[in-house]
A and B are shown apart, each in its own frame.
Chain A
Amino acid sequence: MAGAQGRLLPPSIPYRFFIASSLYQILAWGMLFFSADQVSFFQGGTGYVLAALHALTLGVFVMVAMGASFQVLPVVTNQSFPSLWPVKLASYLYIPGVGALVAGFAMSHDLAMASGGALATAGLGVYVIIIGRLLLDASGFKVLTSHIWFAFVALMALVLLGLGMIFNFMPTDQNVSATAHATVAIFGFMGLFAMGFASILVPMFALANPAVEGRSLFVMAVYGAGLVLAAYGALAEQLEVFVLGAGLLLVGSVSHVQVMKALLKKGMKKKLGISFVLIKTSWVLFPVSIAVGIAGVSGIPYEPTLLIAGYLAVFGWLLTFILGVQQQIMPFLAAMNVSKAGGRPPRLSQLAQGRPLKIHAVCHFAAVGLLGIGIITQLEPAIQAGAIFGIVGAIAFLWFTLDVYKRMLISARKPSIPDSTMPTQERSPT
């Protein structure tokens, strides 16, 4: 946070990603509602279910990761962006690109898929260059930066696999490519990002010492090795290699959760609020999703097991984790922006009201639970009910996001403390 005030971006930049992510979440749940009859039988292929999945993965997870990393990484690594136009360019390419891609998937429209895929890929490319340059000059934060570099490698792989499927240049079968793409996207790019950000944000929220660097890097190495093996096993259609990789992913995920639990236990701040109910739930479902996935590929005689594993990973782990983290960082960053603007330092509760978050939490858990019941029982009304709860929860989250933004702008206009004079700039005799 040294020099943080000089490194804070104009709030409109991170918030465009945050607001877009809430809109894409509403869209995702909406599409699930209208495709409720197909959800339990989803095995890939274009349509509303695939569109909803990408509205969540690209529209929510990656969107929040971009907004948060543009804002948080310069602050924590003590680096500045030389210029803001590439950051804005990334948003101009990525945010509408995801929309076109999702629309293309929903309507099976080749041109929309191709143009959306190209725009989103270009946006991600700009993002990787911006963040890559920032990380190259950063010292320290080895755990975070290692996770991000690894995530970027996974991103390259998943984009290639994704474009390969859209433009039909993959030598493998579509289902094989899709399995590898999903594994690398969920457990690679997004998973590594979630783990890396947790390494700095959880200690910050809980006021805890960061985990021992060597242990975190070892966990990442185990998890990363598992990811590489699982992706290779999926592409080469070698089940044993895939299972071995997934087993290492499971060990890595359990170790990561243990590290996080230990951090919270030692943290100075014990009352962590609703956000940590979401975050802790996501940590339970992270390894569970992998374990269910292993059961699914190992021949358990229950057909929807793999679909359930995907559901647990996407909705139970990633979506729940990201929404928990997002609701913590938005008011925190807003408060810093108010101070930067010279406003009176606000109380966090003045920037973030609790009601939308309570509504969101209740609706989110109801939505995820009902969706799970719907998938397992193949009951369309349960999926539709889950989707309705999801829509209401996502609207509550959008309300929260817009409200924080509005309150931040109002607080920034309030006068600062009149006698706010700095002590002498000269070093005092000690």
Chain B
Amino acid sequence: MMESSFNILRTLHDEHFATMALLEKLETALSGARTAPANDDTTMNRLLGDVEAVLLEEISHHYAFEEAHLFPLFAEFGDVGITQMLLGEHQIIRPLATELSEMAKAGRKDGFSPESWEAFREKGLELVEREVFHIQKEEMGFLPALDQMIDSDQDSELTMAYLELKNAG
């Protein structure tokens, strides 16, 4: 965990923070609810909306940026092993998050059946566990190490690249 002077690392850290906040809420909601929520459960619907939005952001932009820009940079100066481990986790979490996001969207629209809710719970709890552990590794090792590797010029370039990636949708 770090307090970096670099914009790009602070941005990624803030996104981790937002994701963690959602995951904590999701875990609480799923752990305590063995039966499907009612269609008009506004708290659950708001949470499902957040799941959809945050997971989409985390997967499509955050992961893609790390894989395209940060992992190669890290592998050049650091250790390929760590990036292979993180990439391996991306490859497991990405389809899981996509599926969960779609289930959240469908659940918000049509409600959950007992079966679809059980599937959502199972996938959700797995995602929480995997993503928290993944963020833990990035916060404690990956981002602090990058903090030692990049300079302010690279920070500006990386920040710009991330903005472009997000703007491109």
Q: What residues of chain A have their CB less than 8 Å away from a CB belonging to chain B? A: 1-6, 75, 78, 203-205, 207-210, 268-271, 332, 335-336, 339-340, 344-345, 347-349, 416-417, 419-420, 422-428, 430
Indicate if the CB atoms of A422 and B17 lie closer than 8 Å: no
List the B side residues contacting A269 at CB < 8 Å: 20, 24, 132, 136
Q: Establish whether residues B157 and A417, one from each chain, have CB atoms under 8 Å apart when the complex forms.
A: no
- Which of B103-111, B112-120, B140-148 participates in binding chain A? B140-148
Supposing A5-B85, A207-B139 touch, asked if A427 and B92 sit within 8 A by C-beta, the answer is: no
- Most-contacted residue by chain B among A268, A332, A349, A422 (CB, 10 A): A268
In the bound complex, how far is the Cα of B165 from the Cα of A430, in angstroms? 11
Chain A facing B: main interface SS:
loop
Q: Is the CB of A428 within 8 A of B20?
A: no
Given contacts A2-B145, A425-B75, is CB(A345)–CB(B68) below 8 Å? no
Question: What are 27 of the A-B contact pairs (CB < 8 Å)?
Answer: A1-B141, A1-B142, A3-B78, A3-B82, A6-B81, A207-B135, A209-B2, A268-B20, A269-B20, A269-B24, A270-B24, A271-B27, A339-B88, A340-B81, A344-B88, A344-B92, A345-B88, A347-B130, A416-B88, A417-B88, A420-B84, A423-B67, A423-B72, A427-B73, A428-B73, A430-B154, A430-B158
Q: How far is the CB of B1 from chain A (nearest CB, A)?
A: 5
Task: Provide the bound-state CA to CA distance between A208 and B135, in Å.
Answer: 12
Question: Which listed residue, A2, A417, A423, touches B91 by the CB 8 Å rule?
Answer: A417
Complex CA distance for A207 and B144, rounded to whole angstroms: 13
B1, B76, B158 — most chain A CB neighbours (10 Å): B1
A425 to B78, CA, bound (A): 11
Contact for A423 among B3, B24, B68, B158, CB less than 8 A: B68
Does B129 reach chain A (CB closer than 8 Å)? yes
- CB-nearest residue of chain B to A331: B133
Collect the chain A residues with CB atoms within 8 Å of residue B151's CB. none
In the bound complex, CA of A269 to CA of B140 (Å): 13
Q: How far is the CA of A377 from the CA of B78 in the complex (A)?
A: 59
On whether the beta carbons of B145 and A1 are closer than 8 Å, the reply is yes
Q: Which 7 A-B pairs have the closest CB atoms?
A: A1-B141, A5-B81, A2-B145, A3-B79, A430-B157, A268-B20, A339-B85
A2-B145, A428-B73 known; A345-B85 Cβ under 8 A: yes
Our pick among B1, B20, B141 for the contact of A4 (Cβ within 8 Å) is: B141
7 additional contacts (CB under 8 A) given A349-B129, A420-B87: A1-B142, A2-B142, A3-B78, A3-B145, A75-B141, A347-B133, A427-B73
- Please count how many residues in chain B sit with their CB below 8 Å of the partner chain's CB atoms: 52
**Nearest CB on B from A7, distance (A):** 8
- The answer on a CB contact under 8 Å between A425 and B72 is yes
Q: Which residue of B lies closest to A5 (CB)?
A: B81
CA distance A349 to B68 in the complex (A): 30
Q: Which residues of B contact A424 (CB under 8 A)?
A: 72
B168 interface residue, CB < 8 Å from A?
no
Chain B contacts for A347, CB-based, 8 A: 126, 129-130, 133
B33 part of interface (Cβ distance < 8 Å)? no
If A2-B145, A268-B20 touch, whether A420 touches B91 (CB-CB below 8 Å) is yes
Quick check: B133 and A335 within 8 Å, CB to CB?
Answer: yes
Q: Give a binary string over B57-71; 1 marks a CB under 8 Å from any A CB, 0 the rest.
A: 000000000011101
Contact between B72 and A426, CB atoms less than 8 A apart:
yes
Q: Which residues from B are CB-within-8-Å of A428?
A: 68-69, 72-73
B24 to chain A, nearest CB (A): 6
Q: B121: CB under 8 A from chain A?
A: no
